[in-house]
Amino acid sequence: MTVYAIIGGTGLTQLQGLTITAALNIDTPFGAPSAPVLRGEYAGREVLFLARHGHPHRIPPHQVNYRANLWALKEAGAQAIVAVNAVGGIHMAMGTGHFCVPHQIIDYTSGREHTYFAGELEHVTHIDFSHPYDEALRSKLCQALAAERCEFSSHGVYGATQGPRLETVAEIARMERDGCDIVGMTGMPEAVLARELTLPYACLSLVVNPAAGKSNELITMAQIEQALVEGMDKVKAVLARVLSA
């Protein structure tokens, strides 16, 4: 039976309902992960959980040690990863509270440690990243969203930005021209590192605000936090369905 790991983003620093059997402090060649890897039982099966931003939420997107996080999950026994991400909506369909299971990603980040294939290498390694998300895992997420009667899009392009600031109106306009449907700050290099470790990886994105210029109002943290509160119960129900399928 597949051992799933859940990476919790903003709004999901704890997985309520997880019966914890161990908190693993794993040393990696790349430093310490954001938090201990929690092993436990959720929805009747073994699962691993890692808070991407630490617990409490304290590590900004550009300072997350993505390499340590993914390495630690694999060391703990993860065989597939579901990443939960809070995002902004660019496409008109991506309103607040909408879910997206992206099928593609564009990387606008810079300066992040984005690969395991660096340093003193015996040979150069290139991986195929044509399709960044695992299709079987994407399908399971979509089936679970449909069963929970959530509003969702089964496809979308995730634009990964550097953060921690939000984007300008001009930047979002450019991303829209590039074909991005949603915007977030943690999609990369997490996805490519999972691929380098041969871990199936998919993303469950919750839209928590309209992107810059997509609303007449300023984006406030209060609005984002309210959307997170309202959306996290649905996130947990979807995760439970994926795990129990």
CA distance 132 to 189: 11
10 known ligand binder: yes
Query: E strands within the chain?
Result: 4-8, 19-24, 37-42, 45-51, 80-89, 99-100, 104-107, 152-153, 157-160, 182-184, 201-210
**Peptide bond connecting 132 to the previous residue in cis, omega within 30 degrees of 0:** no
52 known ligand binder: yes
CA distance 70 to 190: 7
19 known ligand binder: no
DSSP code, position 28: B
Q: What φ, ψ does residue 214 adopt, rounded to 5°?
A: -95, 5
Tokens of 238: 């979807």
191 known ligand binder: no
210 known ligand binder: yes
Contacts of 57 (CB under 8 A, 6+ apart): 10, 13, 51
Q: What φ, ψ does residue 211 adopt, rounded to 5°?
A: -65, 165
45 known ligand binder: no
Cβ 10 vs Cβ 57: under 8 Å: yes
CA distance 12 to 200: 21
Residues annotated as binding site for phosphate?
Answer: 10, 52-53, 186
Known binding positions: 10, 52-53, 185-186, 209-211
Residue numbers belonging to the annotated binding site for substrate:
185, 209-211
